[in-house]
């Protein structure tokens, strides 16, 4: 399910739906489950170039997803629906109170890392590649990129809520990818999230992206390594847990134990089952997005 709480947040989806051709593409994917670009173009009687433009808008909106596969004529892009249900909330309760913190990706409070693994500041590698001991190095707090094949990273989010504040939503914005030796644009990895020990759900990273320099990467970063990730928005509220508006689990904000004045512990890691393809998290001086790990806490103020 794609859940849109505020109308403006769904603008990209509304624009994507404002085309008869893109509606036809969605109808085809509903009927056939998945199609490659050539098949969609043939069924619609359009050129590949025209279809590519529409597919890009649908992918950017989150309505469809794309994977690559090796076919008879080389690499093919396979399109399929991202979710089966779209829900729009037209009337909200009004503006909520919120505070936001940005945390360096190396400023984790706990970890477990297995090779291939490592971390780096904007100036240099910390220690050496594939040596988990350096995850405890004091310089780690300045790290702008962290990667591991197996394991997890846990971050402490400050809890500024008062006795008359009711937590309504948590949001985390981060640039993520898988972790392959060197890089691999197709390299799925099941990445799991939890808060205060409660698992929120799993998102599958499609790959560990390279071959094109990340917009913010320092000049010394080797071109044969991964370069950038995907910017993901994780939201937990009374309706469930969502990635980019798509429901990934029924875990609600009320399911998370949070004592007054206790920290909010956010864990991101590689699932121990399923597709174990590692994890890379990018800070403001790596990847394509000029930001670190962003955490937002939304709450209501209750009258006494």
Tell me, yes or no, whether 108 and 171 share the same domain. Answer: yes
Report the Cα 103 to chain-centroid distance in Å: 16
Q: Per-residue confidence of the chain (304 residues) as pLDDT tens digits? A: 576 766 766 778 888 899 999 999 999 998 888 899 999 999 999 999 899 999 988 988 889 988 887 766 677 888 988 777 777 777 655 556 999 999 999 999 999 999 999 999 999 999 999 999 999 999 999 999 999 999 999 999 999 998 889 999 999 999 999 999 999 999 999 999 999 999 999 999 999 999 999 999 999 999 999 999 999 999 999 999 999 888 999 999 999 988 777 889 999 999 998 999 999 999 999 999 999 999 999 999 987 6
**Domain limit, last residue, from 88, 114, 139:** 88
Tell me, yes or no, whether 162 and 16 share the same domain. Answer: no
Domain of 226 in residue numbering reads as 97-301
Q: Looking at residue 1, what is its pLDDT?
A: 58
Q: Looking at residue 6, what is its pLDDT?
A: 66
Distances (CA, A) of 142 to 10, 34, 133, 190, 292: 35, 43, 16, 27, 11
Q: How many domains does the chain have?
A: 2
The span from the CA of 303 to the CA of 48, in Å, is 59
Contacts of residue 41, defined as CB under 8 A and 6 or more positions apart, other chains included, come to 47, 48, 50, 51
Number of Cβ within 10 Å of residue 190's Cβ equals: 19
**Domain limit, last residue, from 65, 88, 111:** 88
User: Which of 261, 82, 110, 260 has the alpha carbon at shortest distance from 194?
Assistant: 110
Tell me, yes or no, whether 177 and 282 share the same domain. Answer: yes
The span from the CA of 16 to the CA of 46, in Å, is 18
The span from the CA of 239 to the CA of 244, in Å, is 14
**Domain limit, last residue, from 45, 64, 88:** 88
User: Which of 280, 6, 269, 301 has the alpha carbon at shortest distance from 144?
Assistant: 280
Number of Cβ within 10 Å of residue 101's Cβ equals: 15
CATH number, domain at 38? Answer: 1.10.10.10
Tell me, yes or no, whether 165 and 199 share the same domain. Answer: yes
The span from the CA of 86 to the CA of 25, in Å, is 16
């Amino acid at each position: 399910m794609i859940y849109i709480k505020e109308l403006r947040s769904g603008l990209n989806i509304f624009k994507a739906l404002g085309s008869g051709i893109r509606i036809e593409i969605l109808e085809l994917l509903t009927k056939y489950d998945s199609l490659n670009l050539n098949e969609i173009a043939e069924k619609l009687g359009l050129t590949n170039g025209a279809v590519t433009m529409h597919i890009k808008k649908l992918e950017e909106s989150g309505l469809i997803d794309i994977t690559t596969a090796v076919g008879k004529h080389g690499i093919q892009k396979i399109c399929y629906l991202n979710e089966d249900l779209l829900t729009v909330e037209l009337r909200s309760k009004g503006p909520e109170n919120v505070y936001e913190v940005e945390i360096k990706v190396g400023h984790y409070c706990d970890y477990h890392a297995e090779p291939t693994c490592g971390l780096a500041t904007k100036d240099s590698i910390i220690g050496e590649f594939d040596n988990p001991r350096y995850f405890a190095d004091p310089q780690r707090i300045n790290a702008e990129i962290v990667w591991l094949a197996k394991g997890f990273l846990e971050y402490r989010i400050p809890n500024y809520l008062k006795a008359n504040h009711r937590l309504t939503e948590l949001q985390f914005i981060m640039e993520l990818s898988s972790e392959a030796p060197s890089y691999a644009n197709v390299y799925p990895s099941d990445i799991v999230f939890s808060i205060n020990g409660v698992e929120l759900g799993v998102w599958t990273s499609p790959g560990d992206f390279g071959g094109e320099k990340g917009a913010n990467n320092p000049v010394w970063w080797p071109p044969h390594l991964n370069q950038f990730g995907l910017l993901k928005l994780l939201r937990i509220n009374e309706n469930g847990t969502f990635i980019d508006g798509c429901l990934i689990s029924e875990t609600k904000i009320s399911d998370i134990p949070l004592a007054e004045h206790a920290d909010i512990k956010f864990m991101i890691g590689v699932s121990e089952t399923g597709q174990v393809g590692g994890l890379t998290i990018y800070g403001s001086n790596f990847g394509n997005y000029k930001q670190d790990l962003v955490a937002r806490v939304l709450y209501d103020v209750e009258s006494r």
